[in-house]
Amino acid sequence: MHFAFRPLLACVLLLASCSSSQSLHLENDMGTLKEDYNHGTEFSWSTPLAEADFMAAGLANSTLARTLAVDGDEPVVTYHVGQYFYTPIDIETPALQVRDRPFGAWLFAGLDIETLKLDSVDTNRSDQYSSVGLSLGTVGPSALGEQVHTDWHKLFGLTTPGGWQHQLRDEPTLQARLDRAWRLDFRQLSGPDEKRPWQSDADVAWGVSLGNVRTEARIGSRLRLGQNLDRSFGAQSTLGLHRADSGLGAIEWELFASGEARLVGRDIFLDGNTFKSSHSVNRHPLVADIGAGITARIGGLSITLGHFLRTREFDAQDDPITLWTLDIRSL
């Protein structure tokens, strides 16, 4: 681990030790050839609003947050820190690759105010979910993408990256996002008395992001098949939003398939720096993701493995991106 991350990791672990649940999210192209995307790591921890710090409580109680959130259970505050970095296909060439995306990294920290409305009375209406989030960070050399990329490749004996001198320049980042989702339990369609060893549900979600890293609008859906699906909300990476009877002693499984379309107004990793001159490519305004995966819940631990395909994001990109994700959560 690069030395610069050790104080950050110590602070994160200290804060997370006081939380009700934690999550680790990893995504990677897994060494696939002809891929532009490289790696992402994000660590999150959540706590009830009543136990959150004054900054989170202030954001949750603001007029804007209360207007945007659904009227449901007590909100949960989810803190997160993470790093994502992106590279062109050829990471060995030291020269600038004008037709491919620039090297770029993003290091950030933020929080989300998440609210879940559980419909336990009227079985003809679905659950609702909302999330209002804010994050601060940096792109450029200060995001430490070159150091982490190089150290990991040395650790596993892989090719040493050679083009990070052309990465995006330092720029502070500010991101805000809003997500809403509605869940439909398919058992409602067959009547409340029908018993099965498995359940199926679907959700429809939309969201917007505003900031100098990404500005976009998105809409998507996810189908799930599995056990005790009503104990979680499928489409969102929520941490603390689980029903009280979470059945932590059980072994459960879940399969999912999902799709999402995004209308992108800005992506700093394709458009280049906002206020400084940097390398950029001709970005596609419409991008779509499709994917599938499996979740296993064992005791208080949830593990999800997903595989996703993303359409081309810029003109000179030869092939769609294939992406593997791994989520490990303590509930």
d(CA 63, CA 65): 6
- Report the 3 state secondary structure along 235-271: CCCCCCCCCCCCCCCCEEEEEEEEEEEEEEEEEHHHH
pLDDT for 238 equals 47
Domains of the chain and CATH, by start? 5-330 (2.40.128.140)
pLDDT for 305 equals 95
Name residues of the chain where pLDDT drops below 70. Answer: 1-20, 30-37, 49-74, 118-126, 187-196, 231, 233-250, 331
d(CA 151, CA 328): 23
CA distances for 130 relative to 72, 75, 81, 116, 214, angstroms: 9, 10, 20, 7, 20
DSSP string of 108-149? Answer: EEEEEEEEEE--SS-TTS--EEEEEEEEEEEESGGG-HHHHH
The span from the first CA to the last CA of the chain, in angstroms, equals 27
| Residues 183 and 233: beta-carbon distance below 8 Å | yes
pLDDT for 53 equals 61
Answering whether pTM is above 0.75, one says yes
pLDDT for 50 equals 65
d(CA 295, CA 327): 9
